[in-house]
Amino acid sequence: MRNIVVRTLTFFVAIPLLVALILLLPHLNHLALNVLVVIASGLGARELATLLGQRFDGYWESNAATPFLGALLPLVQVLVGFGVFHQSALQITIYAAVAVILLLQVFRRQEEGFRHTLSSAAAGTMLLLYPGLFLSYVSRMTTLSYAGPLIVTFLCMVFFNDTAAYLSGKFYRSVRERLAARAGHVWEPRVVLPVSPRKTLAGFAGGLLLSPLTLIAAHLLIPQALPAGPGELVLIGLMVGAAVIFGDLVESALKRSATRKDSGSVIPGRGGMLDSTDSILYAAPVFYYLVSVL
């Protein structure tokens, strides 16, 4: 019960502050939001490195290099948005960083160290791309027309999806347990996906439904930012909503591999930075490209 209260308070405090940051501080191409994205990506990479360290024997983690590697791609994308770098800078950075990660595996001082070459190279590449590459699409959104309202719409789609999935799943379980108790037996929920045993189809459906409804509501408020028909809005909402769910499940798979419940403890009631941004990671590229087509 205490966790639910803390989670709810965090939601109702953090979300208004984030919305205010986006709408009230759009200066310098949403610099405040971009700084937040870079910091979040660096913290997320630190948490991912901890998960990888628990899974890979001999994996080397650097307190300085790890957050830098995680924040590198969002930082480059921010500089692209400012016009400092060419549009191709992100692709060049990915190539150069992966090339360096692979090359570093050559310079091992002991023969025994080469036993960890594959795991270290794979871990380093993953730290570069997840969450950095995915979060860089939030920075890309700041270059769109009506960037502020669109980013707020996207975040509402993500957060309302998560909240609706949580509440509808909890309500479904409560109803089924009460009906089972009246019938004199114990209800055991059917596991939909072993990666997240407490997730139900009712929760998935509740979250998926709210994303297109949120997008339609945003269209009614700011039609010039989302020039699309109802069918297109529903399709975009469903695709983004599905990506939100997939992002949560992907991070659950990573945590299960490391036998961890949370990726960290930086955010009260929600765990780590990855726990709070996992849905944003997967959904941001989908939303960006679909809105760009509009």
pTM, 2 dp: 0.89
Percent of the chain with pLDDT over 90: 44
pLDDT score of 165 more than 60 = yes
pLDDT at 10 over 80: no
- Asked if 39 and 71 touch (Cβ cutoff 8 Å), the reply is yes
Give the contacts of 57 (CB within 8 A, at least 6 positions apart).
116, 119
What pLDDT score was predicted for residue 163? 83
Nearest to residue 74, comparing CAs of 115, 44, 111?
44
pLDDT at 131: 93
**Cβ-proximal residues to 70 (8 Å cutoff; 6+ apart), any chain:** 41, 42, 43, 44, 45, 46, 48, 127, 128, 131, 132
Task: Give the range of the structural domain holding residue 60, as residue numbers without chain letter.
Answer: 2-293
What confidence tens digit (pLDDT) does each residue in 172-226 have?
777 776 776 776 676 666 666 777 767 777 778 888 889 999 999 999 999 988 8
Tell me what the mean pLDDT of segment 161-171 comes to.
Answer: 82
Average pLDDT for 80-100: 94
Least confident of 62-76, 163-177, 228-242: 163-177
Q: What are phi and psi of 189, to 5 degrees?
A: -65, 140
Structure confidence at residue 79 as a pLDDT band (50, 70, 90) = very high
| CA–CA gap between residue 251 and residue 60 (Å, rounded) | 22
Neighbours of 235 (CB within 10 A): 15
Domain total in the chain: 1
Q: Is the pLDDT of residue 270 over 90?
A: no
Tens-place pLDDT, residues 217-259: 999 999 988 888 889 999 999 999 999 999 999 998 998 888 8
- Residue 114's pLDDT band (boundaries 50, 70, 90)? confident
Residue 78 has pLDDT above 60, yes or no: yes
Angstrom distance (rounded) from CA 193 to CA 170:
16
Average pLDDT for residues 105-110, to the nearest whole number? 83
